[in-house]
Amino acid sequence: MTKSEYRVGNTEDAEMQFDQEQVPWWTSKRLQLAILGFFGFINVYALRANMSVAVVCMVNWTAVHERQRNSSFGSNDQAMSSSCGLVSAGSNFTEAPKFEDGEFDWNEDIQGYVLGAFFWGYLVTQIPGGWIATRFGGKKVFGVSMMAASVATFITPVAAQTSPMFLIVLRIILGVCSGVTFPAMHALWGSWAPPLERSKLTAFTYAGAQLGNVITLPLSGVLCKYGFAGGWPSIFYVLGMVNLVWVVVWWILASDSPTQHKGITKEERDYINHALSESKHKESGGKLNVPWLKFCTSGPVIAIIIVNIMSDWGAYTLLANIPLYLKEVLKFDIAKNGLYSALPYIVFWAVINIGGWLADYMTRKCFTVTVTRKVVNTVGMIVPALMLIGLGYVDCSSPILAIALLTLAVGLSGFQYSGWLVNHVDIAPVYAGILFGISNSIASVTGFVSQQVVAAIRKLEGMDMRSQWQIVFYVACGMYTFGALVFILLGSGELQPWAMEKKSPEDEDLNEDEGRNVDIELDQICNKESAKVNGHSAALA
């Protein structure tokens, strides 16, 4: 046996003093963190998406569309007829049940501002949130921000009844609170997620966001119709209280790193620290040295930023407007609206988790991280883009087909979670929170811009509702396609040189000493093995 053969087979286990197969999984603290994060993101998206359904209950649609029809002198009514009756939102809502008319006379512009205001605040805190989480710990940032989000949610009914401007300001504040959550969680996974488990851990965590949609949309529809305090206000009271409960549990169980966790086993801690040894940076006098210039000139970082922008345009367009689409085009009442709005996100949630396990399997068995990320990301963007095109040509005469296409368009985009979304942690684990803050900060602009674009398209004259929504879906399709192509060309799954730990001369000397000690031990072992072989040979002779 040569020294090199023995080194490959045995030294890693000998140095680390643990067997990776004996490292716990189902009882592990990294899985516990994923579960905590999962429920956390249920709440993040519940507090974000509740307004999408609530606004349908809050607005006096009869008054809004009556005024719109009068201002256009009835020029569009004839053009908006279809086999389902009048597609005109005005005439449709006039015939709708009484409970669908709310108390607020808000036109399309105000609705767009209310739905898009969240993203103004969401934009502001992405980069600061990533830096603060990296510097002081993601646990504190996530927990404090969600506590503040609960307070803002409780106040929402009062704000709406006071003035649209007060509500818009409050939604901006809610966006400020929510903006730090993804960067904070990315910073945590930079310290917790081993590379070969990274896809499934992060995918499971962020899948909570989509389950938040699944729960919130139908629950909001039911509370809107049957809830207390006048219906729609109960949406905000119930979801705000649930989030407070989660904050308490998070504060008790979460930890910023394996080293700081009091209940973690030695085997799990050593396994995680070893797996992330090349990317874990030592603190330097309490300062965090961030390679900002490297971010700006890195092709993989630029790819993430662009694909984040394109992905968010499509995602936010659908998230905020699915209830309106179901009401205007498919003619569902509010109870059905909430249920069918949730169906795409049930599939989304399942695909996110399936994609995470599939991506880790592909990486472990046959593909590099780079190839895996590009393949699953392409599937998660191009296929939904094609579904949206088909969706634009379906009307209320084929509701089942429309729901199927909508479900596939939203659901299959879950593969993106194992594509570009986890890619920050691949290329720079120690800076993952900051990188996510940068990319998501820029991409968050699409949150309010897309709402204004959709509002403008919905006001186009001389077109029926379906034609207007076709334009909305074509725009989203173009965004998805462009993002997928950029990620194919520039994306990478490799740890970037500027994100690696830079060893000091002292560290290098220490490594050399350790290496010499290991060589001495290996020489002794190899000599013993050779002696045994020679002894056996002599005996045979």
Tokens 């509002």, located at residue: 455
Which positions ≥6 away from 219 have C-beta within 8 Å? 235, 238, 338
- Full DSSP string of 107-138: -HHHHHHHHHHHHHHHHHTHHHHHHHHHHH-H
pLDDT: which is higher, 65 or 122: 122
Task: Assess contact for 460 and 358: CB atoms under 8 A.
Answer: no
Could you tell me if 311 and 381 are in contact, meaning their C-beta atoms sit under 8 angstroms apart? yes
- For residue 59, the cross-strand partners are 104
Residue with structure tokens 């093995």? Answer: 529
391-436 pLDDT, tens digit per residue, is 888 877 788 888 888 889 888 999 999 999 999 989 998 888 889 8
| pLDDT attached to residue 185 | 92
Bridge partners for 82 per DSSP: 85
Span 181-199, pLDDT tens digits: 988 998 898 889 888 888 8
CB 75 within 8 A of CB 116: no
Q: What is the DSSP string of 462-483?
A: T--HHHHHHHHHHHHHHHHHHH
For residue 183, give both structure tokens. 């960067």
Q: How far apart are CA 77 and CA 390, in angstroms?
A: 25
Specify whether the CB–CB gap between 349 and 207 falls below 8 A: yes
Q: pLDDT at residue 162 above 80?
A: yes
Structure tokens at 13: 């286990």
On the question of pLDDT at 373 being above 90, the answer is yes
Spell out where 33-120 has E strands. Answer: 81-82, 85-86
* 335: pLDDT strictly greater than 70: no
User: Which is nearest to 415 in space by CA: 438, 382, 446, 445?
Assistant: 382
d(CA 468, CA 448): 19
Per-residue pLDDT of 255-264, as tens digits, reads 988 988 888 9
Name the pTM for this structure: 0.69
Look at the block and give the residue holding tokens 């694909």: 307
How many CB atoms are located within 10 Å of the residue 528 CB? 11
Range 295-500+511-536: architecture per CATH: Up-down Bundle (1.20)
What is the rounded average pLDDT of the residues 158-169?
90
Give the model's pLDDT for residue 124: 83
Identity of residue 277: S
CA atoms within 13 A on the CB side of 191: 25
319: pLDDT strictly greater than 80:
no
In this structure, what token pair is assigned to residue 309? 């922008």
Q: Are 408 and 386 in contact (CB under 8 A)?
A: no
Say if residue 113's pLDDT is above 70.
yes
Most confident of 98-102, 105-109, 275-279, 537-541: 105-109
CA dihedral for 29, 32, 33, 34, sign (positive or negative): positive
What percentage of residues in the chain have a pLDDT greater than 70? 77
Asked whether the predicted pLDDT for residue 267 surpasses 50, the reply is yes
Cβ contacts of 56 within 8 Å, gap of 6 or more? 100, 224, 323, 324, 327, 334, 337
Q: Pick left, alpha or beta for residue 297 (phi over 0 → left; psi -120 to 50 → alpha; otherwise beta).
A: alpha
Give the helix/strand (H/E) hosting 25: none
Lowest mean pLDDT segment, chosen from 146-155, 204-213, 301-310: 204-213
Cα of 191 vs its chain's centroid, Å: 18
Architecture of domain 26-65+104-259: Up-down Bundle (1.20)
Query: Same topology for domains 26-65+104-259 and 295-500+511-536, yes or no?
Result: yes
- Indicate the residue type of 96: A
CA contacts within 13 A on the Cβ side of 50: 30
Tokens standing for residue 375: 């393949």
Predicted pLDDT of residue 304: 95
Q: Where are the domains of the chain?
A: 26-65+104-259, 295-500+511-536
In tens, the pLDDT along 459-494 reads 887 777 778 888 888 999 999 999 999 999 999 999
DSSP element (H, E) containing 450 = helix 445-458
Q: Which two tokens stand for residue 250?
A: 């998070």
3-state secondary structure of 59: strand
